[in-house]
């Protein structure tokens, strides 16, 4: 009979005394490990219950496949495109809820929904129309953007809850987009443009200002360099008839100037910007100017570039403003700050601004620049 060299149960993890060389340190380590595993099990159980409660909330209104009890992926994709409120992995369908508001209050602060609202807290369309007129009057006199933005967000929420997608809804989103654009809020502009895309697709009579907002969308995509959205927009959304519109044609020219690095054409277009295109182009200006400085540092390496020439080319009002911008970008100037020294401009970078949080960066936008000018 062969000898049994297996150790069997000599080294049992649960019995520290049977292990050779066992110590208090190892026993304490195992004990802490068991405590951590118990805590993790409690946390996972709590999270699973929380997720289950969240998914069971308003189960009757969720988009599900009645035949198999599984989520209808096609319907879910359609619901997301239409801007339905998402809870967990499911969509809350406002068409099935059929909420009709009864609130008579004109002003109401915006708050994010986490459940279906009560009709007493939702304003019907006739009240929203009065609120719309009141907000326009206040905006013309006070120009208080935080207040106006909050009230328009609340209006848009009430429109979505009641499934109102008529001409008044289009007018509300268009007005909010113009006010946000006027104040340089790119974040709210993007949200309005996204919903307007769907509202314009419902009925043709709502497309009165379609070309105007398509030009804003093209300028916004140029500013943020969203290539995944920009390419489908240029190839699919813009029809040949849309491209003939002056506003869309202008936005296409700006896109070509920015993508091609033609800062002379960009600032020539900037001076004649139609509608509210200039606020978006203001966000692009610093990036275009930095591209021009990098090109000057490479092309005029052995020469000196007069600041007065750069002031005219880069569309600055004064030489001092041009000098300040170049100093913020790390450009090298002569002693009296009248000439740019391209050979010494080895580390050009975007202008240094005060630190902003992520939401402010999204709201204000900005053209990304690769400052590798070596």
How confident is residue 193, by pLDDT bands cut at 50, 70 and 90? very high
Distance CA 30, CA 34 (A): 6
Confidence of residue 156 (pLDDT cuts 50, 70, 90): very high
pLDDT at 171 over 90: yes
Choose among 235, 89, 94: nearest CA to 169: 94
Q: Is the pLDDT of residue 21 over 60?
A: no
Q: What is the pLDDT of residue 349?
A: 84
* Parallel/antiparallel/unpaired status of strands 85-87 and 90-92: antiparallel
139: nearest Cα among 178, 103, 106, 188: 178
pLDDT digits (tens, 9 = 90+) for 56-84: 654 544 444 444 444 445 444 444 444 44
Residue (of 372, 368, 371, 370) closest to 223 by Cα position: 368
Percent of residues, the chain, with pLDDT higher than 70: 68
The mean per-residue pLDDT over the stretch 333-362 comes to 72
Question: For residue 366, what are the contacts with CB-CB under 8 A and spacing of at least 6?
Answer: 223, 283, 286, 287
C-alpha count within 13 angstroms, C-beta hemisphere, residue 358: 0
Specify which residues 340 forms β-bridges with: 305, 333
| pLDDT score, position 13 | 46
pLDDT, average across residues 4-26: 51
pLDDT category of residue 336 using cuts at 50, 70 and 90: confident
Quickly tell me which residue has 């409660």 as its tokens: 53
The mean pLDDT value for 107-133 works out to 87
Dihedral, CA of residue 188, residue 189, residue 194 and residue 195, to nearest 10: 70
Residues 248-306 pLDDT 10s: 999 999 999 998 889 999 999 999 998 899 999 999 998 899 988 888 888 887 788 88
pLDDT exceeds 50 at position 87? no
**Integer-rounded Cα radius of gyration of the chain:** 30
Predicted TM-score of the model (pTM): 0.68
Give the pLDDT of residue 23: 72
Sign of CA dihedral 114, 120, 126, 132: negative
């Amino acid at each position: 009979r062969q000898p049994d060299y297996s150790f069997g149960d000599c080294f049992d993890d649960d019995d520290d005394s049977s292990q050779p060389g066992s110590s208090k340190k190892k026993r304490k380590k195992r004990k802490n490990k068991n405590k951590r595993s118990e805590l993790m099990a409690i946390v996972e159980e709590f999270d699973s219950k929380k997720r289950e409660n969240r998914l069971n909330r308003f189960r009757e209104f969720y988009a599900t496949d009645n035949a198999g009890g599984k989520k209808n992926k096609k319907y879910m994709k359609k619901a997301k495109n239409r801007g339905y409120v998402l809870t967990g992995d499911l969509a809350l369908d406002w068409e099935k809820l059929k909420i009709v508001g009864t609130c008579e209050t004109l002003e109401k602060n915006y708050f994010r929904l986490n459940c279906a609202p009560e009709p007493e807290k939702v304003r019907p369309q006739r009240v929203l129309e009065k609120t719309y007129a009141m907000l326009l009057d206040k905006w013309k006199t006070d120009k208080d953007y935080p207040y106006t933005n909050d009230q328009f967000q609340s209006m848009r929420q009430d429109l979505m809850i009641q499934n109102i997608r008529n001409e008044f809804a289009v007018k509300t989103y268009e007005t909010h987009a113009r006010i946000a654009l006027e104040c340089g809020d790119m974040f709210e502009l993007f949200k309005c443009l996204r919903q307007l895309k769907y509202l314009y697709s419902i009925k043709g009579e709502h497309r009165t200002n379609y070309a105007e907002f398509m030009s804003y969308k093209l300028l916004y995509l140029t500013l943020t360099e969203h290539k995944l959205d920009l390419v489908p927009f240029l190839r699919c959304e813009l029809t040949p008839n849309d491209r003939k519109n002056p506003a869309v044609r202008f936005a296409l020219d700006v896109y070509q100037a920015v993508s091609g690095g033609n800062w002379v054409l960009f600032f020539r277009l900037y001076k004649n910007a139609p509608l509210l295109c200039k606020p978006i182009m203001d966000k692009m200006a610093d990036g275009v100017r930095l591209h021009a400085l990098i090109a000057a540092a490479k092309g005029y390496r052995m020469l000196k570039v007069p600041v007065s020439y750069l002031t005219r080319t880069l569309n600055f009002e004064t030489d001092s403003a041009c000098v300040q911008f170049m100093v913020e970008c790390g450009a090298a100037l002569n002693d009296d700050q009248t000439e740019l020294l391209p050979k010494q401009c080895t580390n050009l970078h975007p202008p240094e601004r005060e630190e902003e949080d992520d939401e402010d960066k999204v709201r204000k936008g900005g053209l990304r620049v690769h400052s590798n000018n070596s």
